[in-house]
Structure 1
Amino acid sequence: MNSNINGVNYYYEWLSDYEPNRQTLVCFHGFTGTSQTFAPVFQKENDINILAIDLLGHGKTDCYVHPYRYQIECLCQDIALLTERLGIVDFSLLGYSMGARAALAFACLFPKKVQYLILESGSPGLESKAERMRRKNSDEHLAGFIMSHTLEAFVDKWENLSLFDSQKRLPTKIKETLRNERLSQSSFGLACSLWFMGTGVQPSFWQALSDIEVPILLIVGELDFKFQKIAKKIKTNKPDVSIKIVCDTGHCVHLEKPEIFSNLVHTFLFSYPNR
């Protein structure tokens, strides 16, 4: 389904039947992903409304829009308007990788709308200006590669990053589905996402962590050492967060261990009866 938010068509899909008397979980995919990445994860859920959204530049959501619309603050404002239009006053929020950055930003910008926050392989951003500048240059270089090569050449390059080594062990059918999802993207949309919403240009939300009052769950793979380190640093800054490290799993936990991931999410969302 599509909804026009201030001139931008956002694609969203209910991955479960919607019932107004139960809580809603809104899902943000990662870079090169779409809302469909979560479809296999929540097939058996029947007590949560699952709403997945294609973020700007990805999937069936518009990509040819003004660059400022890609900025993470503008994206969050669009999502706030979209959920309001759907009649959802507040909800839980799940984000994977790039989507985790967007989910954390949303929780900081619209704290009264978020009930629970789940970050899979996520980061609050880079703390120093020098780190952000280095990453900005790296993101711009990758965006340039995307625009000067075929999408297939970029996907080949992307899939061979060490971050995704563990995905090579996935069943052939799942790997084919994942590759087709990446190949379905718009080169322009991916490049704009890097240029205007990449880690290098995103504000750092490290200092804002202490202001988030809702329960937070961090999910990270045992083989994803970089994001394990980030998760542990987040917990050092905010001791009340929960961390779940999933054994023998890399960056994309929800694809590599969908049943375990689903159980972790479900357990977390129902572990605070007083809320």
Structure 2
Amino acid sequence: MPTSALHSEWLQWQDETFPTLVCLHGFTGTLNTFQNLTWPHNWNVLGVDLIGHGQSPIYVHPDEYRMPRVIQNLKKLMLDLRIAKYTLLGYSMGGRVALAWALNDPKVVRVILESSRPGIADDRVRQERQVKDNQLARRILTQPLVNFVNDWENLPLFATQRKLPAIVQDRVRQERLSQVPYGLAMSLMMMGTGQQTNYWPQLSQICPGLLITGDADNKFQRIAMAMQTVAPQLQHQELSGGHCVHLENPLLFSQTVINYLNH
């Protein structure tokens, strides 16, 4: 896959001498999920559509969806754009990618991980998750996409999003419905949580970073606290919201990111 085909857009471009923040969206999302956030005035901000999502390649060999290849292609994109060093911001699936990328690229200066995890430590639990991811992928490939989106929206993980204004909920729904089933299925099968390498043993080596979780997302609060215990260089901030804090509480999320990047 030619790396230049990975779709990226400058969410904010200021000056080539300014530092760069690279934003990676979650499963079923696109870089547009970050469009309504406020960014620090002295940073360049790049949004990337991960493979299988948005305007990035979809119908490629399944191996292109494996995490090592995804990171290799993202690193190549940075070379193509002549960005020497970069900070990463990743949400959920994008956070898992950002974490793996940071552990495999010395050019990553800092990471901001929103509702993310470094894999599943227990082999049996990881295999069970892999089976569930594969079952969901098969369902996505064999049923109308709208059926999957309806069920996905009703997961307890996203319950707090039902309090959002109707216009915001509709925007998120349309983003999910705009995806291609093959891309979603390959993302789950090749780089889903069940397939992800267990990075817990390497976590202590990660660059400095910020963990953001919502106060209504108990599961990822616990994960973030455990991550901070292993890697004290990772700060943790709990903000009002659920799993997708940047969507549910954009002003506070933006201010938290700005404060972290400017200190």
TM-score, normalised to structure 2, is 0.97
In the alignment, is residue 125 of structure 1 matched against residue 123 of structure 2?
Answer: no
In structure 2, runs of 5+ residues without a counterpart are none
Q: Provide the secondary structure at the position in 2 that maps to 1:58.
A: coil
Kindly indicate whether the alpha-carbon contact (under 8 Å) linking 1:231 and 1:243 is maintained by their aligned counterparts in 2: yes
What is the CA distance between 1:17 and its match in structure 2? Answer: 2.0
The aligned residue for residue 54 of structure 1 is: 49
The aligned residue for residue 36 of structure 1 is: 32
Q: Deviations over 1:72-113 (max 9, x none)?
A: 111001000001110101110000000000000000111x21
Kindly indicate whether the alpha-carbon contact (under 8 Å) linking 1:16 and 1:45 is maintained by their aligned counterparts in 2: no
For residue 68 of structure 1, what is the amino acid of its counterpart?
D
Please, which of 195, 198, 203 is the counterpart of residue 204 of structure 1?
198
Please, which of 197, 217, 224 is the counterpart of residue 224 of structure 1?
217
Kindly indicate whether the alpha-carbon contact (under 8 Å) linking 1:70 and 1:196 is maintained by their aligned counterparts in 2: yes
Please, which of 11, 16, 19 is the counterpart of residue 20 of structure 1?
16
The aligned residue for residue 246 of structure 2 is: 254
The aligned residue for residue 2 of structure 2 is: 4
Q: Deviations over 1:54-85 (max 9, x none)?
A: 00110010111111110111100100000111
Kindly indicate whether the alpha-carbon contact (under 8 Å) linking 1:26 and 1:51 is maintained by their aligned counterparts in 2: yes
The aligned residue for residue 153 of structure 2 is: 159
Q: Provide the secondary structure at the position in 2 that maps to 1:15.
A: strand
Please, which of 251, 254, 259 is the counterpart of residue 267 of structure 1?
259
In structure 1, runs of 5+ residues without a counterpart are none
Q: Distance in 1 between matches of 2:229 and 2:116?
A: 15
For residue 122 of structure 1, what is the amino acid of its counterpart?
S
Q: Distance in 2 between matches of 1:16 and 1:90?
A: 17
Q: Distance in 1 between matches of 2:35 and 2:2?
A: 23
Identity %: 43
Q: Judge which range, 231-240 or 161-170, deviates more.
A: 231-240
Q: Distance in 1 between matches of 2:109 and 2:205?
A: 14
For residue 249 of structure 2, what is the amino acid of its counterpart?
K
What is the number of equivalent residue pairs in this alignment?
Answer: 263
Runs ≥4 residues deviating over 2 A: none
Q: Distance in 2 between matches of 1:128 and 1:74?
A: 24
TM-score, normalised to structure 1, is 0.93
Q: Provide the secondary structure at the position in 2 that maps to 1:59.
A: coil
Q: Distance in 2 between matches of 1:22 and 1:45?
A: 11
